[in-house]
């Protein structure tokens, strides 16, 4: 498909006519009907994102404590502490429910 006028080499403009879409030149009388679709949609492939806390490997060999899960009310949870703010702020405690069917994560 031509995007430039074959007579004067100017860029062709898309315009609506009463029957169809067409390409027209703004400087000369050249007009051409559009017979096929010019554009197509291409979606970018998203990058794989790593888990911020290390995924399932980070929860291996962690201690458990008495904590009630907000999702299933199980009374035991794994925990780990991480410094996610500045050094003068307290550490953040992350919990994961010990119930195998729940596995809910939350923080305190």
Is 5 a known ligand-binding residue? yes
102 marked ligand binding residue: yes
Checking if the pLDDT of 38 tops 70, the result is no
Percent of the chain with pLDDT over 90: 37
Q: What is the pLDDT of residue 2?
A: 62
Domain annotation for the chain: domains and CATH numbers: 1-37 (2.20.25), 58-107 (2.20.25.10)
What's the rounded mean pLDDT across residues 16-33?
88
Strand, helix or coil for residue 56 = helix
Annotated binding residue 20? no
pLDDT of residue 85: 87
12-40 burial, b at 16+ Cβ within 10 Å, e below that, comes to beeeeeeeeebbebeeeebeeeeeeeeee
User: Does residue 25 have a known ligand-binding role?
Assistant: yes
28 is in an annotated binding site: yes
Mean pLDDT, the chain, integer = 86
Average pLDDT of the residues in 42-64: 80
């Amino acid at each position: 498909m031509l995007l430039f006028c074959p007579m004067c080499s100017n860029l062709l403009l898309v315009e609506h006519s009463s029957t169809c879409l067409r390409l027209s030149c703004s400087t000369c009388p050249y007009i051409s009907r559009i017979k096929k679709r010019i554009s197509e949609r291409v979606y970018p492939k998203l990058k794989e994102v790593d888990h911020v806390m290390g995924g399932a490997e980070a929860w291996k060999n962690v201690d458990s404590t008495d904590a009630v899960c907000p999702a299933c009310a199980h009374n035991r949870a794994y925990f780990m502490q991480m410094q996610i703010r500045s050094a003068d702020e307290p550490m953040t405690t992350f919990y994961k429910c010990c119930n195998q069917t729940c596995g809910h994560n939350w923080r305190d």
